[in-house]
Amino acid sequence: MNTLPPRAELERAYLARDPAYDGLFIVGVRTTGIFCRPTCPVRSPRPENVEFFPSAATAVFAGYRACKRCRPLAVVNQPDWAAALVERIDAAPAARVTEKDLRALGVDPATVRRHFVRHYGMTFQAYTRARRLAVGVQSLQTGATVDAAAFATGYESVSGFREAFGKALGRPPGDAAGRDPLFLTWLPSPLGPLLAGATAEGLCLLEFTGGTDLEAQLAATRRVFDRPPLPGTNPHLDRLRAELDAYFAGTLRAFTVPLVYPGTPFQRRVWDELQRIPYGETRSYRDVADATGDAKAVRAVGRANGMNRICIVIPCHRVVNTGGALGGYAGGLRRKQYLLNLEQLARERDE
């Protein structure tokens, strides 16, 4: 789904080097073949000589190379205003933030909406409601009554809390008591946003996401883990964020975040074997089948590889066809090639 603003707005933003748009789009310069952030300090080219992309990855796929001045392929944080909004919500989830409040902060509500839809798969107001519900779930788990949880999260009535809870999570509030939620967060990467999920036991979800498949991803997550998925974080997601930054910087060879990956015994054998493939190397589907003890299970290995829910950390991108062709990849073959190139270059640099 293309979430880019109208071209006139894009041109105004990049000509003004508006920091409010950093992270929302990428500028490709046809005359040089280079792509930049909207805030790149290099002199802006004429509007007729540029095209706009929703992410650095799409610019790479279109044949552009990254600007060495503004480094658009580096893993970046959110724009300052977006990070400040998320921090504000985390600090006081029960507080309401209206469009009037956003304008008082100097942020256009339409820009906020586009940013949250693109990076979180929901509008800003939907995100704030989900964060309130997350706090409500945590309150219920620590022994609070439904009434207390409702008022602690800013709902004016218990019935309103019950209705919102049931609509979002598919179960009444009382069912959340004593249950561990699955916390979800969205992490930036040079290849587009990643949806990450973790329970108290460990990381259980890491997938590239986009507006067209996010709803299906969330539905599958709820079905597999039978837990309420809620925006938030926990120590495992905090560790993952730091480790992914190091991985994309080419300095991390092995992840240490605990993993949770339910599946059939065969699927788990395949996923275990994937984690034994050394950084910077590849194995064929047949190699993995041999390692699992069933040389005839090449197709089954391919299916299990495609069903891996924790990309990069369980490195299914390191499995290729016999002969070296890339094969398949749920995140797209260009992302797979990028990850393989990243690891190979980092390994060669260190040898």
Q: What is the model's pLDDT at position 212?
A: 44
| 333 belongs to a structural domain | yes
Are 59 and 33 contacting, i.e. CB atoms less than 8 angstroms apart? no
State yes or no: pLDDT of 45 exceeds 60. yes
Question: Tens digits of per-residue pLDDT, 162-208?
Answer: 666 555 555 555 555 545 678 888 787 877 778 899 988 999 999 88
**Residue 22 sits in the same domain as residue 41:** yes
**Residue 84 sits in the same domain as residue 100:** yes
State yes or no: pLDDT of 304 exceeds 70. yes
| 1 belongs to a structural domain | no
d(CA 196, CA 246): 16
Number of domains in the chain: 4
**Residue 186 sits in the same domain as residue 145:** no
Q: How far is CA 49 from the centre of its chain?
A: 31
DSSP string for 124-192: HHHHHHHHHHHHHHHHHHTT--HHHHHHHTT-S-HHHHHHHHHHHHSS-GGGGTT---EEEEEE--TTS
| 259 belongs to a structural domain | no
Q: What's the domain range around 34?
A: 7-66
| 223 belongs to a structural domain | yes
**Residue 167 sits in the same domain as residue 86:** yes
User: 57: domain CATH number?
Assistant: 3.40.10.10
Question: What share of the chain in percent tops pLDDT 90?
Answer: 26
Active site residues: 36, 316
pLDDT band for position 294 (cuts 50, 70, 90): confident
